[in-house]
Structure 1
Amino acid sequence: MDSSLTQALFSAELQAFASGFPVMVLHLIATLLLLAAGAAIYAVLTPWKEIALIREGNPAAAVAFAGVLVGLAIPLAVSLSVSTSVRDILIWGVATVVLQLLAFRVVDALLTGLPQRIEHGEAPAAIVLVGAKLATALILAAALTG
């Protein structure tokens, strides 16, 4: 092996990548599992069955559920960025998902009549619901950073 190739293979950058990449993948998997769990719990807790409505071609339900996914992902992403270990990610991630699900329930309760409007495929109702859920996600994400 020539010396330039040896230097490249044993460079600090490559060594940092080799040790950091598996950790990043583990952190990513933990966060994606939290996102999936949060979305599944939300789907079970909602007064309307978004997944069934989406399968039936209801665009309002699809928009509303996309808002849930992004609304859960925003604070989880911040949680991931401020955490230093998988345990940290799980602790803050579970707290984030629980708080966000509670906030979603409050939003659903405050915006009365929206679930029925979403069931009927009314896109404006879904857009308002998504806006409210994203607003709570952003505030929760900011709270995570202290």
Structure 2
Amino acid sequence: MDIAVWQYLLYLKYFGVALVMLVVFAFVYLRITPARELELIKNGNIACALSLSGAMIGFCITLVSSMLHSVGMLSFVIWGVAAAVIQILVYFAATHLIKDANAELLNNNVAVGVLFFGLSVSIGILNAASLS
């Protein structure tokens, strides 16, 4: 199997753009959520690690679908931005399901972290399927 140089460059282009979108998504997510997730995770907060991981996985699931179904780079980026908005909205919707959810995450309530993880991944799967 031979891979043409242009195919390899296209792969690098999509991978690079997706990686940048993931970093930007994580940065924005960390800035708008009230908890200081990275600091809490560094100190062993599993609930925050689960919540953040679920958001990133849910976002990446949609990015994969967008890569597969987009007609070009612009379309891919637009769907990526839409996926980011959806994942952030999922976080805020989830905080309304559980009373004092942010405080529960801060206090390392793993059950709340798992719920947030599951919601984020579930919505990411639905969002990805909607692109097909």
TM-score, length-normalised on structure 1? 0.82
Q: Aligned partners of 2:5, 2:84: CA distance in 1, in Å? A: 31
3-state SS of 2:4 partner: helix
Q: 1:36 and 1:61 mapped to 2: Cα distance?
A: 17
On the 8 A contact 2:30/2:36 being kept in 1, the answer is yes
Provide runs of 4+ in structure 1 moved above 4 Å: none
Query: Matches of 1:80 and 1:108 in 2, distance apart?
Result: 30
User: In the alignment, what sits opposite 1:29?
Assistant: 16
Query: What amino acid sits opposite 2:88 in the alignment?
Result: L
Shift of 1:51: 1.1
Work out the CA distance in 1 between the residues paired with 2:87 and 2:32. Answer: 13
Aligned residues: 132
Letter matched to residue 49 of structure 1: R
- 1:117 Cα deviation (Å)? 1.4
Which residue in the other structure is 2:130 paired with?
A: 143
1:112 to partner: Cα distance: 2.9
TM-score, length-scaled by structure 2: 0.89
TM-superposed deviation, 1:136: 1.1
Please say if residues 71 and 133 of structure 1, whose CA atoms lie closer than 8 Å, have aligned partners that are also in contact. Answer: yes
Partner of 1:128: 115
Native 8 Å contact 1:59 1:121 kept in 2? yes
State the structure with bigger RCO (CA 8 A, min sep 6), 1 or 2.
2
Cα distance in 2, alignment partners of residues 119 and 110 from structure 1: 16
Q: 1:136 to 1:112 in 2, by over 3 A?
A: farther
Deviations 1:54-82 (A, max 9, x none): 12221221121111111111111111111
Residues 7-60 of structure 1: per-residue CA shift (max 9 Å, x gap): xxxxxx52x532211001101111111111111111111121211211222122
Change (3 A) 1:21 1:84: farther
Q: Does 1:73 align with 2:60?
A: yes
